[in-house]
Amino acid sequence: MLNDLALLKTASAMATHAARRHTVIAENIANADTPGYKAQDTQAFSDIYSHAVRENKDISKLAAASKLIDMDSPASPNGNTVSLEGQMLKSTEAVGQHEMALAIYRKTMDMMKMAIGKNM
């Protein structure tokens, strides 16, 4: 059991993906006034997970190098496609995903400590 902790690897990959997505969202917000800037997002974690399972690949490497996707948002008159409201919603989603990954990690560690007899 301790040799293959797939749940911890998945939680770590999920946290990495959420952090990468948050970085992309921050870049979008920073370029909200840049003429011609196209908003981007990362590939969904569920797609990355499915690909890793299907191809039997390391999920942590796939999450760290997730593809960037151009968003299909309407452009403003200067050609910019960043919607600050949309980016704030995506930011909230990324924070939630990161917190969920950390909660999974924490609970898994708590269960392992309980299994080996360490009281918390």
**Cβ atoms 17, 42 nearer than 8 A:** yes
Task: Express each pLDDT in 27-60 by its tens digit.
Answer: 999 999 999 999 999 999 988 888 888 988 888 7
More confident residue, 119 or 11: 11
Band (pLDDT 50/70/90 cuts) for residue 1 is very low
Helices (H), 1-120: 6-30, 45-55, 59-64, 84-115
Distance, in Å, from the CA atom of 56 to the CA atom of 1, rounded to the nearest integer, reads 19
pTM of the model: 0.82
pLDDT digits over 76-120, tens only?
889 899 999 999 999 999 999 999 999 998 998 888 888 888 765
Q: CA angle, 64 as apex, 4 and 30 as ends, to 5°?
A: 150
